[in-house]
Amino acid sequence: MRRVRANPGEGALLRGEILRVAEELLAETGTEQALTLRAVAARAGVSTPSVYLHFSGKEALIEAVCLRAWDELAESMRLARADDPFARLARRGQAYARFALAHPTQYRVLLMRPADHRAAQACFDLMLETVRDCVEAGVLTGEPEKLATRMWAAIHGCVSLLIAQPGFPWPEEIDDFVTNVVRMAGFGTAVAERLPRRGVLPTPRLGPALDAACRTLTDHDR
């Protein structure tokens, strides 16, 4: 249980172990308040004051954990690739959602705290970059910043509801949900952008014209 002391020059090894254990405990306890330095030190097999050898305090430890989580999230999105820009957009959205659902507590802590701007920005930029590819390829129309923001909001809303309301009777499979949210964001934004802006929304009629448009959207791929 007790950790063997590191040799001179290898003191930084404990830092990595503390980070690992802190992430583990965060996932188990669910909140950053339940994450105590005493528990972290105990699980790392070390005395409590040892944490101060590598982090200036509790706040610094949590910040380091969050930074690492953001990096992992960005990396999982970076790994999602596809030649087709729209498919890449969907894959990256799904990678985001999968990471969130796989690390629910970390995701919640990530987005509950006032975000570290650079880390969140890096993550958003991956989304934005792919949306830009779609716009350039003529697959989406509109301002990439707005498109990417709405898409991020939609996916975030989906996973954060799934995390926070696990008892709620969700009407469809998670994968389908995410797929549809991505499609919805992509197509719906394009449609919404072309409608006139006004105070009261008009009642739209979905009929033959929309059916025809959907056929066109599909035909390309047959």
Q: Residue 75 CA to chain centroid, in angstroms?
A: 11
Are 55 and 64 in contact by the 8 Å Cβ rule? The answer is: yes
The single residue among 22, 57, 172, 174 that binds a copy of itself, judged by CB under 8 A, is 172
Q: Choose between 52 and 135: whose C-beta lies nearer to a copy of itself.
A: 135
- Classify 35 in phi/psi space as left (phi over 0), alpha (psi -120 to 50) or beta: beta
Amino acid code (one letter) for 41: A
Are 64 and 126 in contact by the 8 Å Cβ rule? The answer is: no
Residue 79's nearest CA partner among 126, 20, 118 is 126
Min dist. Cβ of residue 47 to DNA (A): 3
Q: Residue 77 CA to chain centroid, in angstroms?
A: 9
CA distances from 218 to 41, 183, 221 (A): 56, 12, 6
The single residue among 12, 60, 102, 164 that binds a copy of itself, judged by CB under 8 A, is 164
Map residues 133-162 to x or -, x wherever contact with a copy of itself holds by CB under 8 A: ----xxxxx-x-xx--xx-xxxxxxx-xx-
Give the pair of three-digit tokens for residue 153: 């909001």
Q: Choose between 44 and 93: whose C-beta lies nearer to a copy of itself.
A: 93
Residue 38 contact partner, candidates DNA, a copy of itself, none, CB within 5 to 8 A by sort of partner: DNA
Binding residue count for a copy of itself, defined by CB under 8 A: 87
> Which residues 6+ apart lie within 8 Å of 40 measured at CB?
18, 21, 22, 25, 51, 61
> Which residues 6+ apart lie within 8 Å of 168 measured at CB?
161
- Applying CB under 7 A, the residues found at the interface with DNA are 2-3, 5-14, 35-39, 41, 46-50, 52-53, 57-59
Q: Choose between 106 and 189: whose C-beta lies nearer to DNA.
A: 106
Residue 152 contact partner, candidates DNA, a copy of itself, none, CB within 5 to 8 A by sort of partner: a copy of itself
127 interacts with a copy of itself by CB under 8 A: no
Residue 190 contact partner, candidates DNA, a copy of itself, none, CB within 5 to 8 A by sort of partner: a copy of itself
220 interacts with a copy of itself by CB under 8 A: yes
Min dist. Cβ of residue 18 to a copy of itself (A): 23
87 interacts with a copy of itself by CB under 8 A: yes
Q: Choose between 8 and 196: whose C-beta lies nearer to DNA.
A: 8
